[in-house]
Amino acid sequence: MYGVLLVGALAITQESAAVDWSALARADIEAAHREISESHPGPVDPLAPDFGERMDAIRDRALAFADRAETAMGYRAALLSYGAGYSDNHLGILVGIEPERHRWPGFVVARAIDGRTRIVRTSEAQGGLFGAEILECEGRDLDALMRERVFAFRGVEAREVDWMRRAALLFLHEGNPFAPPIETCLFRLADGREADIELSWRAIEHDAWQAELAASQGGGETLSSGMRSFGEGRYWINLPNFNPDQDARLALRALIDSIAEQADELRSADVIVFDLRQNGGGSSAWGREIALLLWGRAYLNQQNGQLSAVDWRASSANADHLEALVPRIQADGYASVADHFQDVADEMRVGLTHGEALVRFQSGTLVRPVPADGRVVVPDMIEAVAEEVRIENPVQAQVLFLSAGSSCASACLDFADNVLATDTASLVGWMTGADSLYMELREIVLPSQHARLGLPTKVYRGRSRGSMEAYQPEILYTGDDFSTETLQEWIEREILGD
């Protein structure tokens, strides 16, 4: 994927109460709905016949929130509910209006793999609650509250990793008028006693809460691309970002150059750790280049095996978007990807003149027309080819793909598809994120200028990893400290047997 990720926020402050936030919310939701209808693959996807019906239900629910939106925060919640309704981390809305202050009850929680939620960080006043488990709140179990108060507005309920990543938001009030602060919870205290306690909410600055959250997870390191040794024959490769800004792009390019220079040494090493913490995706080309340097195209094609294709939604806006990306992709050094995007844009425009809603490329080659049932057709020449001699894995090293404390998503998952298909690699830490088959984002500023829509423009066909399917770790990390020091010690002790 070479789309734009929904990161950052528009530089907008809350305006006066005279603004008709309800009308703005309705207009933005309707505009987003039209954009999806005209440029998303879903409405014309023969393998998703209920997509249009779901769209309308999602819009109606969001409009019901919009009708009750009297403030900027009501507007924000209504727009977020529309994006969250699709349960797709590639389709969403980023609102540029943030509350001036958050509110918290003086503690931060973490949800463990087994589903238990406990307090892992407290203010000085709430220190007695450290380590307590929260059993229920207001007489209801936490799963139900997560669905109503968190997943109704952000995240993807179907992604297991989101239940852990988003758990802390249940006890953060961002001004959402449709999810007021929880009043009471039942705790199992550190000494084993159970107690109903009324929560004491207080203001906290956004940066201060982020610092509390980071501290609860081991310090909140800012990772950058790079490679280091951590013992004889052991290499640790940080890949926190496939959507780099200019400085990060230079670091990532320098890392790839180092991998190219040391490829033989890496292949014969004892251990390679690919550390994908904080990697939420970006361009698949970065990860693909690294995989090709180490394993080679022939071996990766053999391991991935399955024949696949990509169907692009044909629209003038999508064609213009892809064409505008070409110079950036060329600047990243991926001329063949840039040429392909130009070809897709050109064929979209041709397809539109013939009334085609989808344009298919299979192995980089145009396939026209797209089969009415969406299936991937195996060319006769491929069916006739006899099985070739099996290629041995050129990488002798034990390869550990580390995902922990954050969600490996989008282009990070594409990298996982390549690495984990090899026969010496394993996932350790957490399960990865998961994504739908709708990819390649285009970003659209909505009419109010207060929000942006992230819109997928293509759909995968025949991908071996299914829609919203995560990779599960072979070795599970159950701690709540995600610092490099702690995770390296865990790998050395539990996996490498030091």
Give pLDDT, residue 458. Answer: 97
The Cα 455–Cα 442 span in angstroms is: 5
Element (H, E) at 246: helix 246-261
The Cα 289–Cα 256 span in angstroms is: 8
Superfamily for 102-204?
Answer: PDZ domain (2.30.42.10)
Over range 28-53, report the average pLDDT.
97
The tokens of 488 are what? 């390296």
Query: Domain spans of the chain?
Result: 102-204, 226-296+394-435+468-495
Residue 151 has pLDDT above 90, yes or no: yes
Give pLDDT, residue 493. Answer: 97
Residue 297 has pLDDT above 80, yes or no: yes
pLDDT over 90 for what percent of the chain?
Answer: 75
What distances in angstroms separate CA 383 from CA 79, 372, 377, 386, 406, one per listed residue? 48, 22, 10, 8, 41
Q: In which band, very low, low, confident or very high, does the pLDDT at 304 lie, cut at 50, 70 and 90?
A: confident
Residue 293 has pLDDT above 90, yes or no: yes
Give pLDDT, residue 218. Answer: 60
Give pLDDT, residue 424. Answer: 95
Give pLDDT, residue 124. Answer: 87
Kindly tell me the sign of the dihedral angle through the C-alpha atoms of 261, 264, 266, 269: negative
pTM score: 0.87
> Does 371 or 220 have the greater pLDDT score?
371
Over range 93-122, report the average pLDDT.
92
Q: Degrees (nearest 5) of the Cα angle 83, 85, 88?
A: 75
Q: pLDDT digit string (tens) for 375-390? A: 887 655 444 444 556 8
DSSP per position, 248-277: HHHHHHHHHHHHHHTHHHHHTSSEEEEE-T
Nearest to 94 by CA among 444, 439, 407, 410: 444
Buried b (16+ CB within 10 A) or exposed e, 213-222: bbebbbeebe
Residue 456 has pLDDT above 90, yes or no: yes
Instruction: Name which of 62-66, 299-303, 338-342 the model is least confident about.
Output: 299-303
In three-state secondary structure terms, 110 is strand
* Fold annotation for 226-296+394-435+468-495: 2-enoyl-CoA Hydratase; Chain A, domain 1 (3.90.226)
Average pLDDT, whole number, for the chain? 91
Residue 344 and residue 322 in contact, taking contact as beta carbons nearer than 8 Å? yes
Kindly tell me the sign of the dihedral angle through the C-alpha atoms of 387, 392, 395, 397: positive
Nearest to 113 by CA among 159, 150, 160, 155: 160
Give pLDDT, residue 306. Answer: 64
